[in-house]
A and B are shown apart, each in its own frame.
Chain A
Amino acid sequence: MSISIKNVNKHFGSFTALKDVNLEVPSGSLLALLGPSGSGKTTLLRIIAGLEVADSGAVLHESEDITEYSARDRKVGFVFQHYALFRHMTIADNIGYGLRVRGVKKPERQERVAELLKLIRLDGLGDRYPAQLSGGQRQRVALARALAARPKVLLLDEPFGALDAKVRQELRQWLRRLHEEIQVTSVFVTHDQEEAFEVADRVVVMNKGRIEQVGSPVEVFEQPANAFVMDFLGNVNVFPGRIEHGKAVVQGLALTSPDYPDLESKEASIYVRPHELQLERTKNGGSSLEAKVVHVNPTGPRTKIELRTVHSDQLINAELTAERFAELALKSGDLVHVSPRRVRVFAPEYSI
């Protein structure tokens, strides 16, 4: 079941939570709403669920306008950030609640609950109470409860936000597999870009109540639509510079940039990701910036290096593979030559 959101606006007092939002969620997709806090992603999710009322605009399931339907009539499963399990009911009663209020008979209900307990790998724990489960288990129960009545749409609000790193990792993969298995149109909210990229097949980047970019994880990461998306998705180095005749100029350094081939001359910010910086001991032709190593963090598969440019005293973050780092054998205080392999230029019409 696909979802369409048409020109949705939402204000809380003088605060604009959503501004003219349009979005298509294709049937069977797993879509992530990604953005910083206050970007309106949770509000949008709650409007889809019917837990919040939009000031204007429409929400459609397939072609059915459900804008005026209440939450109970929308046939959506909603998973709350803090699970919102019914604390006085057992796990089995929690999962079966959606069936109970829809008048499903007890034997049929028990069958479905057993099936779901198996799906979330908690068979045998149906008699326990939510307080007796771990965070990860509770999150799975919340998911099973939302799925029990076979919703047309599954909505998850920061589903892994309250879990520790290891459980979160496991649950992400599990959610991904679960979605492949049951193929229900799903939307989840997250502020963690890694989580969005790992789980979702479509990512919607939101900022200040607007959608900045929609695309597959690769599209969004490799071709960010604007400076905000570039900056929000992972670390980035920003150099103040200019565009001159299709070339980006940073501190006297001319770099080829395909982004604005026709622009004569304009102030611009030049963005380079840490792993797209090349470090050399010696200046080997081409153009490069001279910088001093400030700090080296060799933990993990990639070595993170903090540098400071010699001329402008700007802080730069670079990332090297472990092999390359071993080859260079850098330590604090060393002088290196930095040249970007790839740059992105955004003329400053956006401010971050």
Chain B
Amino acid sequence: MQAEVVEFSPSTSQQVPPQPKAKAAAVARMRRAQRDPAWVRWGLTTIALSTVILLIGIPIINVFVEAFAAGVGAYFKNLFGDPDTRHAILLTLTVVPIALVANVLFGLAAAWSITRFKFKGRTLLTALIDLPFSVSPVVAGLMFVLIFGLQGYLGPFLRRDGYSIMPYLTSLVVVVAAVVTFFLIRPHHSSNEQQRGLWRHPWLVALGGGALLFAGLVLAQQALEVWPKNASLKIIFAVPGLVLATSFVTFPFVARELIPVMDAIGPDEELAAVSLGASGWQMFWHITLPNVKWGLVYGVILCNARAMGEFGAVYVVSGHIAGQTDTMPLRIEKLFQEYNLPGSFAVASVLTLLAIFTLFIKSKLEHQLPTHGSAPVPNPTGTTP
């Protein structure tokens, strides 16, 4: 041992003629001593690799093999020739964007309130956001059936005169939007000459104006009979139910991506913008959104993949009506049950491609997120990088 150590030190190797064999052996021995044994390395790698190939690799390749088994022409005929399949693709492309918009709005609001405000029930909200992940999708679907279904709490009412709630619902949305806009455009103390009369009492204006607007809109819609009377408003076994179920199961995605990003960035830049004279709206568009944009895109992409592939919850609320409430995953299942294997694999290949594309974007985006360490952090030493 002693001799080898001496040989390995560079100062002696200059005087003593080099002995490459002995030196290589010493290096090999050192390397062996610093590593795990070969059987551990090879064993673990083999287990991991073979599992991935068997359970993920081969099935995915098989999807494409089966889809293209009858040739490219048959593949596209299977995808776009069947009207029910066409409708399923279109339905997925309508339901998913609505669910995405809802989740982006919810995700931003939830992430903002959780990371920037301290309020009672903050931890409860954080926990509840994850609930859709832990609830079985089938149970989620059943919850909506129990509320909106025929035998559910709201079922009889919705069937009798469902559209009568629409004036209230639409008016509420308009009023909320109006109040938010009012607070965003309201002039501030800096312009004292504009601070006259009602501008001084923002809450009075917001509440009073909001109530008046609401009443006016509701009465106007009722008087003009915008919505059908005594008609059944279908939520379950119809598109609204699909949107609700899809939104529910994908709720956590955007919020969960945004919360760590916003936590990592901290509120200082936003406060700096405000102290420089930015309004809440300006702060959001100039500072917050550019800072969280990669997190947001990441969340939206994950959300999109899950929303497109959602089966359980959608299965329960859709009623499985071909050409009406079948989404892509439901269509795949139905084609499979009908022994139309090429058709079912063709649709499946579209969803698989989407998954691969999502993974690709995901791995590209991970480097852009401040929570993954590549964001510029303040250089505490004061030296030029």
Interface residues of A (CB under 8 A from B): 49-51, 69-78, 80, 82-88, 97-98, 101-102, 129-138, 145-146, 148-149, 162-164, 166-168
Residues of A within 8 A of B290 (CB): 88
Task: State in angstroms the CA–CA spacing of A299 and B378 once bound together.
Answer: 33
The docked-state distance in angstroms from the alpha carbon of A145 to that of B17 is 66
Please, how many angstroms separate the alpha-carbon atoms of A71 and B275 in the complex? 5
Contacts of B353 in A (CB 8 A): none
* A85 CB contacts on chain B under 8 angstroms: 269, 272
Q: For residue A131, which residues in chain B have a CB less than 8 angstroms away from its CB?
A: 376, 385
Produce 1/0 per residue, B318-350, CB < 8 A to A: 000000000000000000000000000000000
A75 to B191, CA, bound (A): 12
A-B contact pairs, 23 of them (CB 8 A): A49-B275, A51-B275, A72-B278, A78-B271, A80-B271, A85-B269, A86-B269, A86-B272, A87-B269, A98-B277, A131-B376, A132-B385, A133-B384, A134-B379, A134-B382, A134-B384, A135-B381, A135-B383, A138-B378, A138-B379, A149-B277, A162-B382, A164-B381
Residues of B within 8 A of A136 (CB): 382
* Chain A residue contacts of B376, Cβ below 8 A: 87, 129-131
- Which A residues lie within 8 Å of B268 (CB)? 80, 82, 84
List of B residues within 8 angstroms of A74 by Cβ: 275
A72 touches B379 (CB 8 A): no
Within the complex, the shortest CB–CB distance from A132 to chain B, in Å, comes to: 7
Q: Could you list 11 further interchain pairs (A-B, Cβ under 8 angstroms) beyond the known A78-B275, A101-B282, A135-B382?
A: A49-B275, A80-B268, A86-B272, A87-B375, A98-B276, A133-B384, A134-B383, A135-B380, A138-B378, A145-B272, A166-B382
Check if A145 sits within 8 Å of B382, measured CB to CB: no
Total chain B interface residues with beta-carbon distance under 8 A: 29
A80 and B382: CB pair below 8 A? no
Shortest distance between the CB of A80 and any CB in chain B (Å): 5
Chain A residues whose CB sits within 8 angstroms of the CB of B222 once the complex forms: none
Contacting pair A88 B291 (CB below 8 A):
yes
Contact partner, A73, options B190, B271, B287, B384, Cβ 8 Å: B190
| In the bound complex, CA of A6 to CA of B232 (Å) | 64
In the complex, which residues of chain B have a beta carbon less than 8 angstroms from the beta carbon of A76? Answer: 275
With an 8 A cutoff between CB atoms, is B160 at the interface?
A: no
Task: Kindly state the separation between the CA atoms of A137 and B384 in the bound complex, as whole angstroms.
Answer: 9
Which 6 pairs from chain A and chain B are nearest by CB?
Answer: A131-B376, A135-B382, A84-B268, A98-B276, A167-B382, A73-B189
**B116 to nearest A CB, angstroms?**
13
Which residues of chain B come closer than 8 Å to A137, judged between CB atoms? 384
Which chain A residue lies CB-closest to B380? Answer: A162
Q: What is the CB-to-nearest-CB distance from A310 to chain B, in angstroms, rounded to a whole number?
A: 46
A164 to B380, CA, bound (A): 7
Q: How far is the CA of A122 from the CA of B384 in the complex (A)?
A: 13
Bound CA span A229–B273, Å = 36
Chain B contacts for A129, CB-based, 8 A = 376
Docked-complex contact B378 and A101, CB < 8 angstroms: no
Question: Which residues of chain B have C-beta atoms less than 8 A from A164's C-beta?
Answer: 380-383
Measured between beta carbons, the chain B residues less than 8 angstroms from A138 are: 378-379
Q: For A168, list chain B residues within 8 Å (CB).
A: 382
Check if B188 is an interface residue, CB within 8 A of chain A. yes
In the assembled complex, B352 has its CB within 8 A of some CB on chain A: no
From known contacts A132-B385, A134-B384, A134-B385, infer whether A82 and B277 are also in contact, taking CB-CB under 8 Å.
no
Query: In the complex, how many angstroms separate the beta carbon of A17 from the nearest chain B beta carbon?
Result: 14
Q: Does B274 reach chain A (CB closer than 8 Å)? A: yes
> Is the pair B276, A101 in contact by a Cβ cutoff of 8 Å?
yes
